[in-house]
């Protein structure tokens, strides 16, 4: 996404926190859901790197 740096960092924080919560839930209930939990985590990392570029 092409957003301002502030919005990119905020989106990064929300995505990373949500991804971490999903990963914890997946580890506790069923390991097969782990790839689904990793998707928002990786999106948060990618959004964080976009914050420096934009």
pLDDT digits (tens, 9 = 90+) for 9-44: 999 999 999 999 999 999 999 999 899 889 999 999
Evaluate if residue 2 carries a pLDDT over 90. Answer: no
Alpha-carbon distance of 36 to 22, in angstroms, equals: 8
Higher pLDDT among residues 53 and 41, named by residue: 41
Instruction: Give the model's confidence band at 1: pLDDT under 50 very low, under 70 low, under 90 confident, else very high.
Output: low
Under a CB-based contact definition with an 8 Å cutoff, are residues 50 and 11 in contact? no
Which CA distances in Å does 2 have to 6, 29, 30, 50?
Answer: 12, 36, 35, 8
Alpha-carbon distance of 42 to 35, in angstroms, equals: 10
Looking at residue 54, its pLDDT comes to 66
- Structural domain of residue 43, as residue ranges? 5-53
Instruction: Count structural domains, the chain.
Output: 1
Looking at residue 38, its pLDDT comes to 94
């Amino acid at each position: 996404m092409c957003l301002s740096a502030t919005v990119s960092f905020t989106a990064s924080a929300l995505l990373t926190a949500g991804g971490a919560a999903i990963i914890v839930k997946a580890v506790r209930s069923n390991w097969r859901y782990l790839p689904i939990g990793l998707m928002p985590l990786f999106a948060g990392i990618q959004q964080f790197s976009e914050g420096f570029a934009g």
